[in-house]
Structure 1
Amino acid sequence: MAVIAEPVAKPISRFRFVLDRRDVLETVMVAPAILYVLLLVGLPLLLAVFYSLSAYTIYNPTWKFVGLANFEQILQNPTFLDTLRNTFVFTFGSQLLGLVLGKFGAFLLLQPFPGRKIVRALIILPFAVPVALATIAWQWMFDSLYSVINWTMIAAGLVTREEAPNWLGNPYLAMLCIIIINAWRFFPFAIVIFLAGITAVPQDVIDAATVDGAGFWRRNYQIILPMILPMVAIGLIFGIVFTFTDLSIVFLLTMGGPGGATSVLGFEGFQTGIVSGDVAHGAAISLFMLPVLLVVVIFTLRFIRRREI
């Protein structure tokens, strides 16, 4: 009589057993992101702190501890205070303008019209175009001689050739120019946020408000906007952080001019630490952004928590 051998069970891999645990799997999946942040954010931050507490320059690359002397010196510098003011004006001015454009753009894209899908696809271009190419195009538009904006106003009879504004030569107009360019880059992101928020509002809530007699403005500013405000505030945090630390538009368009009227913290830190070689003061200027952004983020998150419904 033949004996049929029973199949031998294969031993379970210890590695497979470990990955079946949820806490271990979560750690493995999150580890690359944590490593990325530590190497590309944490390490440069520690180096910036290291240099800001020293007298390190490229001409004298020896580390000498000076404590908070670098921060005291930049705070006593009137140029730095003007740069800090310019940074706030540039950041909040462009974010406010971008949110306004994004809100009205979202309402327009919610309306049915021919070619709406194509417009929705094209509206993302300002956010996707490389900042260097976009800024060069805007530089031609604001050129003192070949500005298409000036030529249009002259052709429309609004101004004469002698009265045409020198966009990049006037301190106030130059600040307005960099605000417009950054708002132009930001508003597609704002449109996406508003579209996502508005479409997420339950239709029965809007219908009930309409039945109760709420018009267009009351529906949007007393019902829809409070409901999507947390989502908008999160997008605003990202916009503020990226704008506050940005130097590309200023570097490519005005180089901080005229007369330092458009110099911002990112540009000033680059000019001081990299171009001038004063690494210690450049690191101190860059680190000054950290507490300011931390206060803004904490204030915004507390505002979101109070307004959640």
Structure 2
Amino acid sequence: MTVETTSPLPGPAHRPPAPRRLRRWVARRPLTAFTVLVFAAGWPVLAVPALSAHGVLPGGALPVEPFVLAALLLVMLPAALGVTAVVDGRPGVRALLARALQWRFGAGWWAAVVLGLPVTTLAVGLASGRTPTVDGAAAVLLDAVVSIGTALLLVNLWEETVWAGFLQTRLQRRHGPGTAAGLTAVAFAGIHVPLQLTGEVTVASVASAVGLLLVLGLLVRVLAGVVLAGTGGSVLAVAVLHALFNASTAEDDLVDRLLSGGAPLPLAVLAAVLLTAAAAAALRARRRAGRQRAGRPGAAHRGR
């Protein structure tokens, strides 16, 4: 009598379940997974106002703000937290969210984050011959505190949890600060492409809008990298900086109203460059002083 023996043939039934394979892929390629998810799910959400404005979807012109908020809170933030959970587990998620509330980073850095951009932009504007607004300045400042605080809590804090806390930080660990700033700026400009299609669409108009986003994004990302290094990785610091950058560049916002109107963007760009240079110099000086203290005789013994 013969006994037939069969060995299981390799096939789909013996492959790991799809969710497990997906988790393995995310763990191996976290940045790729994040980018694919954000663009695949975020672009359709952000494209609704453009599709509606051009008659592809019913409803006519729609405000873009609700769709920006939806893409941020329903796509981008969950993607960043989800990928972090796969790669670093729950402790990694808690650490990322803790950085969004990290407020202890020194009075000097707080002054740079809160006052640096608006004050420097005002100074550049005054130096260029712009006229300051004196009457009603208190009301302008009060309005700005409310609007900036609202934007910070609803948008910028969670936006920078994604950009600074997740993407730029991970890129910097792998590629260094310069490349991280550049790649994050590309992703930032790229996700905003659908929002540039709501008006009259030409190749030139879209290219110029995306190009401006890329330049501004790179400027902010370089400054954000310096601030992250100076504040011990505080996402809150970068979020405040982002909110104040918007208030310094937008027409009919804080700096524009204090300078009696006009185009504040070129002034804010120059101010951001100056602030980045000053903050980077302060950071280098602090690191140099730390190395000198560490190199003194007896420093290691005293640190025990």
Normalization by structure 1: what TM-score? Answer: 0.27
The structure number with the bigger radius of gyration is: 1
Q: Which one has the bigger helix percentage?
A: 2
Asked which structure has the greater RCO (Cα within 8 Å, sep 6+), the reply is: 1
Task: Tell me the TM-score normalised to structure 2 length.
Answer: 0.27
